[in-house]
Amino acid sequence: EAGVAQSPRYKIIEKRQSVAFWCNPISGHATLYWYQQILGQGPKLLIQFQNNGVVDDSQLPKDRFSAERLKGVDSTLKIQPAKLEDSAVYLCSSGDPFTDTQYFGPGTRLTVL
Amino acid sequence: RKEVEQDPGPFNVPEGATVAFNCTYSNSASQSFFWYRQDCRKEPKLLMSVYSSGNEDGRFTAQLNRASQYISLLIRDSKLSDSATYLCVVPRAGGSYIPTFGRGTSLIVHP
């Protein structure tokens, strides 16, 4: 069974630039999560989708971050404009609907200079 | 109290030791708890679910204490390969399942 796919794996941008991350969840998983993980901290949930609807985005900085999951499958997370403090690993996971367990992709390591 | 709290450690133990971590949570209505393991520069991976009756998988045992609102992870006979960060996950208050991760506890197993 294929796992969660994410791209790119690494991205370096300058502050005020835009960046987008892509995630393709495990087939059949209706729930998709985006997390931000800063070094030394646990993953912080940015947004949670159930199919193509948003379950929670209370911790998403909506002035600069946006996410979509138009067809209820893959998803894109965008940052525009980026700030230095956005440097982090962005993790995507998909959820088993019967057990609430999550399976993570390899993440995208973002560096903002 | 924060939604979820973990002692960041590091816990430094010799091979063969038994080590236990706790994770406290504030939402008394929480139902689904998990432990994930994260290796350095890798993504988190599910270690085990935490059931009301406890859960054991080989050298690992997870327990839930609802009265005191914490979950625990016990590792027996530690191996060098157990060195990692252990993250607990508890659900946020509310109807839908919305996970909150702890900051993780770092374990270092030395020879």
pLDDT tens digits, one per residue of A69-102:
988 899 999 999 999 999 999 999 999 878 889 9
Q: If we measure between CA atoms, which residue out of B32, B53, B44, B111 comes closest to residue B78?
A: B111
pLDDT digits (tens, 9 = 90+) for B69-111: 999 999 999 999 999 999 999 988 777 888 999 999 999 999 9
Instruction: Measure CB to CB from residue B102 to each of A42, A48, A55 and give the nearest one.
Output: A42
Average pLDDT, chain B: 92
Predicted local distance difference test score (pLDDT) of residue A53: 92
Please tell me the distance in Å from A52's CA to the nearest CA on chain B: 15
Predicted local distance difference test score (pLDDT) of residue B71: 94
For the four alpha carbons of B85, B86, B92 and B98, in that order, the dihedral sign comes to: positive
pLDDT digits (tens, 9 = 90+) for A38-58: 999 999 999 999 998 999 999
Question: What per-residue string of b and e applies to B75-91 under the rule 16 or more CB within 10 Å gives b?
Answer: beebeeebbbbbbbbbb
Predicted local distance difference test score (pLDDT) of residue B29: 75
With 70 as the cut, is the pLDDT of residue A1 above it?
A: no
- List phi, psi (to 5°) of B100: -125, 125
Chain B interface disruption, residue of A100, A103, A108, A111, most B CBs within 10 A: A100
CB contact under 8 A, B87 and A43: yes
> Residue range B48-66: average pLDDT?
91
- List phi, psi (to 5°) of A84: -55, -40
Structure tokens at A102: 């999550």
Q: Percentage of chain B surpassing pLDDT 90?
A: 78
pLDDT digits (tens, 9 = 90+) for B9-19: 999 999 999 99
> Residue range B33-41: average pLDDT?
96
Q: Are strands B11-14 and B105-110 parallel, antiparallel or unpaired?
A: parallel
Q: Half-sphere exposure (CA, 13 Å, Cβ side) for B92? A: 14
CB contact under 8 A, A42 and B43: no
Question: What per-residue string of b and e applies to A24-54 under the rule 16 or more CB within 10 Å gives b?
Answer: bbbeebbbbbbbbbeeeebbbbbbbbbeeee
Confidence grade of residue A60 (pLDDT, cut at 50, 70, 90): very high
Cα separation, B38 vs B21, in Å, equals 15
